[in-house]
Chain A
Amino acid sequence: MTASSAGNGQPLLSVRNLTKAFRSRRGLFGPAEVVYAVNDVSFDVHDGETLAIVGESGCGKTTTGRSILRLIEPTSGEIKFAGQNVAELKGGALRRMRREMQIIFQDPFSSLNPRMTVGAIIREGMLIHGLATRAEADKRTGALLEEVGLRAEYASRYPHEFSGGQRQRIGVARALSVQPRLIICDEPVSALDVSVQAQVINLLQDLQRDHSLTYIFIAHDLSVVEHIADRVAVMYLGKIVELGRSEALFSQPLMPYTQALLSAAPVPDPARRRERIVLEGDVPSPANLPSGCVFHPRCHHPAKDEACARIVPPLEEKEAGHFAACIKQPPTKVTWEEQQRAGGVREPRRYLPLAALH
C-alpha cells in the first residue's frame, strides 16, 4: 500500500481507502448531490506514536477521526484496529473496541454534560465497560483528576464551575478512565488561550509517556503540530496530499499546498521575515471537486500544466518515508510521456521554495 511507514511490526491502526460521502440537496428542491468529505484516504498509525492530521476547515480531518471510531459510518474502506476490522464489529464487540479508542473533543464547553457532576462524567465509562465497581470507580476518579492536574474533590462539582483549560483536563480524564490504547485528539487545544494551551499540550505528552498511548492529533495550528507530532498527514479537500515524518515535512515540504500552508503561518519573530506564498482564492466546494489534482486551480508549482487537471496524482514515496501527491515533483511513477499524452507541456522538476525554512 502507499502510505504505510517504515515502522516495525503491525501498525496499531491501519486505514485503507477510507471514503465518506454525504448526500445533500442544493436548496430545498434542488438536485441531489454527493459531497466527498473524505476521499480514498489510507494511512497507518503505529503503537506509541503521534500522527497529526492537519488541514484547513472542510478538508475532512474531523470526519476521518470520527469515521475511525465509527461515530460516523464510513461509506467504504477498511479500518483495522489491532488486527480487527472495525467496520464489521457489532454490539458488544464494537463497545469493547471503543473502550480502546477514545476521543477528546475541541470544545470543552459542549462536550461535557452540564447536568452531570465531574465525578459522574469520569466514572460513567468505567461502569459501562464493567472495569470497576462503584467504590473502585470513585477511587480511580479521584486519582485520575489528580493525574490531569486537578483536585480529587472536584469530582462533586459541575462542569460550569471550571475554566476552559480545566474542562479540557476533565475531558482528558474521561478519555483516560477506560485505559484506552489510542486517543483521537480533535483540535484539543484550539479553543484555549496560549498559556493554558501549553499546559494541556504538556499534559498530553506526559500522559502519552506514562501510559504508552498512541495519539491521532487533529489540528489546524502548525506550530502545535510540529511540537507534538512524530508524523504528519496533510489533508486538502478530503485527500491526504502529503505524509511524512514531522522534521522532514516541516523542513522540506514537497506538496505545493503544504508549502503554502507552512508559509502562511505568521512567525512570532519580527526579525525573521520570510518568503510567503499567498494562495489565490478560496478552497473549492467539495460538492464540485476540481478534476485531476484537487489543488491544481490554486497551485503555484512552476511546472503546473494541463496534465495536473487531467491526472489524479497518486500519494507516492518521494523520499524514504515521505509521501506526496504531486506529479510535477519527481520522482513520480506518472511518466513524462503519460503526462504529455494528458496535455502536459512542462517537465516535472523539484520545486522547493521553502527549503531553507529552518
Chain B
Amino acid sequence: MSNPLLTVKDLRTYFYPGGGAVARSVDGVSFSIDAGETVGIVGESGCGKSVTALSIMRLIRSPGRVEAGSKIEFDGKDLIALDEESMRRIRGNRIAMIFQEPMSALNPVFTVGDQIAEVARIHAGATRREAWKKAVEMLGLTGIPAPDQRAKQYPHQLSGGMRQRVLIAMALVMNPALIIADEPTTALDVTIQAQILELLRDVQQKFGTAVLLITHDLGVIAEMTKRVIVMYGGEVVEETSTPDLFTSAHHPYSEGLLHAMPRVGDKRERLNVIPGTVPPPTAWPSGCRFHDRCKYSWERTEHEHPPLYTIAPGHVSRCHLAEEPQRRNAPHKPLVARRSIDAA
C-alpha cells in the first residue's frame, strides 16, 4: 500500500484571545486522505472543521497557533516544519483552497483573468501572455461561457455561481494534488449549488485530484464523498465510509444530526432534536464533550474522555457505547434538557 497523500496527526490548533482564556478549536485531530480520494468533514459551526482546513494550509494567524506535537504530512513533506517560502510554493500549487464566500476571496480591483493568471505567473513562472491564455483556458474548463470576455471582467460583474467557478479555475491552474473546499456551495442557491457540485465532481474525475470537502450539509456529503469524518467539540467523533454513516452511525452526535434533519420525502410530525447548543471552544465539557446533550450519557461519560474505538474495519467512533452497547437501550432526557436551559 502506498502512503496517503495527506496525513494529519494529533493536530492541535489553539487560540489565545487574552485574559488567560484558551480556545481549543482543534484538539487532537487525526485523519488521512489518499491521492484522488474525496473525503468529507461534517459538523456544525464551532466544531473546528474550518480551523482544521486553515491549519493544513498554514493560514492560522495570531492569536492562534498550531501547537507543538501536531503533525501534517503532505506528499512526504512535513508541512509544519517547512519555512514560509517553501510553504508558499505548496499553497496554490500542490494544495489549493476554495472558500465559502467567493466575493471576499477575490480582489475587487483586478479582473478575474488577471487573478487567475497571477497564479500561473507566480507558481509556473509563466509570461504574461502565457498566463492570460492559461486563465482563459481554465475559465472555459469550468463551464463559463465566452471565457475570453469574462476574463476581462471584475468580480462584481459576475454572479455568485460564476465567482465560485472563477475560484475553482484559480484552484485548478497548477493542477494541484489536493483541493480543500470549505463550504463551497453554502452561499449559493440550490440550482447553482447543483452546477458547482457537478463541476467539482468532473474536475476530480478528469484530473484525479483529491478533495477535502468541508460542509455542514449531510446532503452534500452523501452526494460527493466516499468517506466522512464527523467533528464535534474540536475532535473527530466518528469516521467511516459515507454509506455506512447513513445506515449505521455509531456516535450519538452523528445519529442526532441525521435525525434532526428534515428530508424531502419524509413527513414526520416532529423533528428529533439535539437539545442545547455547541459549547464554546474555551469550555469544552469534561469527559465526553457531547455528554450533556446526549440521550445515552451515564456517569462514565461525564468523567472519562472516550478514545476513538474501532467499531468495524474503517469505522471509528469516540463513544463509550462501543464498550457498553446495552446503554443504547436506555435513552433518557439529556442533561442540558434536565437543567431546562433551551429545553426543546
Contacts and interface: CB of A to CB of B under 8 A. Distances in A.
Contact of A220 (B44, B190, B274, B340): B190
A156 interface: no
A194 B161 CA distance: 24
Most buried by B among A195, A198, A271: A195
A193 B278 contact: yes
A166 B260 contact: no
B274 to A, nearest CB: 4
B243 A149 contact: no
B192 interface: yes
Contact of A268 (B189, B261, B341, B342): B261
B273 A223 contact: no
Interface in B138-169: 145, 159, 161-162
Given A149-B344, A193-B278, A227-B268, A268 B190 contact: no
Contacts of A197: 260
B195 interface: yes
B272 A198 contact: yes
B264 A195 contact: no
B277 A163 contact: yes
A223 B264 contact: yes
A141 to B, nearest CB: 18
B203 interface: no
Interface stretch (B17-25, B105-113, B218-226): B218-226
Contacts of A271: 243, 246-247
A222 B267 contact: no
B307 interface: no
Nearest to A189: B262
A226 B44 contact: no
A196 interface: yes
B190 A264 contact: yes
B258 interface: yes
A282 B261 contact: no
Contacts of B257: 194-195
Interface in A265-281: 265-271, 276, 278-279, 281
A351 B342 CA distance: 47
Interface stretch (A70-78, A199-207, A325-333, A337-345): A199-207
Contacts of A267: 219, 222-223, 263-264
B2 interface: no
Contact of A266 (B192, B219, B243, B265): B219
Interface in A217-257: 220, 222-224, 226-228, 247, 250
Interface residues of A, number: 48
Interface in B229-265: 242-243, 246-247, 256-258, 260-265
Contacts of A163: 277
A265 B44 contact: no
B73 interface: no
Contact of B192 (A202, A268, A282): A282
B344 A199 contact: yes
B212 to A, nearest CB: 18
A312 interface: no
Contacts of B197: 266
Contacts of A82: none
B191 A57 contact: no
A263 B159 CA distance: 22
Nearest to B269: A205
B242 A270 contact: yes
A264 B267 contact: no
Given A195-B44, A266-B197, A149 B264 contact: no
Most buried by B among A198, A199, A202, A263: A198
Contacts of B161: 282
A222 B266 CA distance: 12
Nearest to A203: B344
Contact of B216 (A194, A222, A276): A194
A203 B342 CA distance: 11
A151 B340 contact: yes
A281 B340 CA distance: 49
A220 B187 CA distance: 12
Interface in B255-310: 256-258, 260-268, 270-275, 277-278
Interface in A9-39: none
B343 interface: yes
B3 interface: no
B261 A194 contact: yes
B193 interface: yes
A358 B341 CA distance: 38
A72 to B, nearest CB: 22
A266 B223 contact: yes
A205 B270 CA distance: 8
Interface string B99-122: 000000000000000000000000
A49 interface: no
A355 interface: no
Contacts of A262: 264
B160 to A, nearest CB: 8
A107 interface: no
Given A202-B344, A270-B222, A265 B274 contact: no
A352 interface: no
B263 A194 contact: no
A72 B94 CA distance: 51
A268 B222 contact: yes
Most buried by A among B44, B256, B260, B267: B260
Contacts of B263: 223, 267-269
Contacts of A250: 264-265
Given A261-B190, A269-B246, A282-B192, A201 B262 contact: yes
A56 interface: yes
A57 B191 CA distance: 11
Contacts of B183: none
A222 B190 contact: yes
B222 A266 contact: yes
A357 interface: yes
A208 to B, nearest CB: 12
Given A205-B270, A270-B243, A264 B193 contact: yes
17 contacts: A149-B343, A149-B344, A151-B340, A195-B44, A195-B257, A196-B44, A197-B260, A198-B272, A201-B271, A227-B268, A247-B267, A265-B190, A268-B258, A269-B222, A279-B191, A282-B192, A358-B265
- Nearest 3 pairs of A and B residues by beta carbon: A266-B219, A358-B265, A56-B189
